[in-house]
Structure 1
Amino acid sequence: MALPDGEPPRFESAVNPLPPAVWLLFLAIIGVEAALTLGANGIVGGPGAVGWRLQAIRDYGFSAQVFQWMLEQHFWPREHLLRFVTYPFIHPVFTSTLFSCAMLLALGKWVGEIMGSLAVLVIFFAAAILGALLYGLLATEDFPLIGAFPPVYGLIGAFTWALWVRLRAYGQQQLRAFTLIGVLMGLQLLFGLIFGATQGWIADIGGFIAGFVLAPVLVPGGFRALVARLRREG
């Protein structure tokens, strides 16, 4: 994705070639959603499959109350610790899955090309974990955390850091790098006011922070290599 001087970032079409890690995450998310959707419509699994989504949320979603109980009891059951990395693969509705996957493909393609396929996996799961951790510490609602938005926000954090570096290299206003995250959080606030807000935004911010912090560590060759590459693309 070229970033011409003075122009906002543009995402290229999220088609081949995609980094292997992006394909892996995409197929895992869409595969789970396909099973839940087909089950809900009675196509697979028989009558009991209608409740697969609710069961998946109970079994694999992240609960702030359960996490706070674990903190109080100093007891860490494996099945609850796994929720830190399983909740991104369960979505509340089909449209939420499609939107998450579209963002994953676009952002994952860019991050993978700049930082490598392994970096996509590291950022995805680190953002999922930090997002859940902040949600568990700060959320006051009894609503399970599900969906890939926190790790996708991690990819946004990595993208933002790279753009921040580029703007710095060209002596431009670095706050422009935060335009994308600002727009997305504004849309979340608007939708929350219209349809009713949840506290999932806490996890999204945690995911963004994880991606932003990890990006300079994961980029091949470090900071100077990224500056040189972004200059060439510009």
Structure 2
Amino acid sequence: MLWPERFHRSQILNLWFLVAIIVLCCGVEATLQIADWLDLGPRLRATAYENGGFWAGLLRNWQPNYAAQPYTMFLTYGFLHGGLIHLAVNMVTLWSLGREVIARVGNWGCALLYFGAMIGGGAGFAALATGPAPMVGASGALFGLAGGLLAWAYVDRYTLQETLWPVLRAAAMLVTLNLVLWWAMDGQLAWQTHLGGFLIGWVLALLIDPRARTSLDLL
């Protein structure tokens, strides 16, 4: 697939946004894990999910725990995870995708894409989810980063008159991944969040940087 220019060694220090998100997410989960080990976890984790998770019912007729909850949950859900494995997979993915986004549009561009896709993921879940369970995790934002990278790859390849097959192949792999995970998790995967994040990420990426890049590495 076609990606932005490779990182130079000096650019590694310019990843403050990724570091901040990873530290925050890990700090939240570490607090909940410690509470679990001290037998405070069931209540503390439940409280965190109750107040920070994304509850689609709050956009209908449910009573919120605090007045701003129907609005803040569009961001707070992305900093909560369902355990260490969920956190680890998402943070490794963030580090991988986020570096490529920063290489193209910098930390502020990455932040705009990340949080915009997080909101889009929440909107997708609100519009398409039918169950009462809450949704947590950074994957909506991560699919937004993936959508943004694919949008840029599409524009770059189209401008260079290169085949679009690598973009289509990557999109098909994302669809396949969701289907496999949905089956493996017995339908508990928040694919609606992934879809919403991906679509908003694609659109936002073309608004943040609509210009094609002609100096690219083929990986």
Aligned letter for 1:27? V
Q: Provide the C-alpha distance between the structure 1 equivalents of 2:4 and 2:169, rounded to a whole number of angstroms.
A: 12
Cα 1:33–1:180 shift into 2, 3 Å: farther
Question: Which position in structure 1 is the counterpart of 2:40?
Answer: 48
Determine if the alignment matches structure 1 residue 227 to structure 2 residue 217: no
CA contact (8 A) 1:111 1:159 kept: yes
Aligned letter for 1:48? L
Aligned letter for 2:116? A
Q: Provide the C-alpha distance between the structure 2 equivalents of 1:195 and 1:117, rounded to a whole number of angstroms.
A: 34
Determine if the alignment matches structure 1 residue 123 to structure 2 residue 113: yes
Q: What pairs up with 1:23-102 in 2 under 5 angstroms?
A: 23-42=19-38, 47-69=39-61, 77-102=67-92
Question: Which position in structure 2 is the counterpart of 1:205?
Answer: 195
Q: Per-residue displacement from partner, 1:134-186 (whole Å, max 9, x unpaired)? A: 21122111111110000000100111011112221231222421433321331
RMSD between superposed Cα atoms in Å = 2.5
Q: Provide the C-alpha distance between the structure 1 equivalents of 2:176 and 2:216, rounded to a whole number of angstroms.
A: 33
Structure 1's consecutive aligned runs of 4 or more residues displaced over 4 angstroms after TM superposition are: 7-13
Aligned letter for 1:130? G
Cα 1:12–1:192 shift into 2, 3 Å: farther
Query: By how many angstroms is 1:16 displaced?
Result: 3.3
Q: Per-residue displacement from partner, 1:34-93 (whole Å, max 9, x unpaired)? A: 111122122xxxx424432222111100111111227xx9xx931221000000111112
Question: Unaligned stretches of 5+ in structure 1?
Answer: 1-6
Q: Provide the C-alpha distance between the structure 2 equivalents of 1:232 and 1:159, rounded to a whole number of angstroms.
A: 13
Relative contact order: is structure 1 or structure 2 higher (C-alpha 8 Å, sep ≥ 6)?
2
Question: Unaligned stretches of 5+ in structure 2?
Answer: none
TM-score (norm 2): 0.87
Match for 1:150 among 132, 140, 150?
140
Determine if the alignment matches structure 1 residue 16 to structure 2 residue 16: no
Q: Provide the C-alpha distance between the structure 2 equivalents of 1:55 and 1:85, rounded to a whole number of angstroms.
A: 17
Aligned residues: 213
- Percent identity, aligned pairs only? 22
- Helix, strand or coil for the counterpart of 1:147? coil
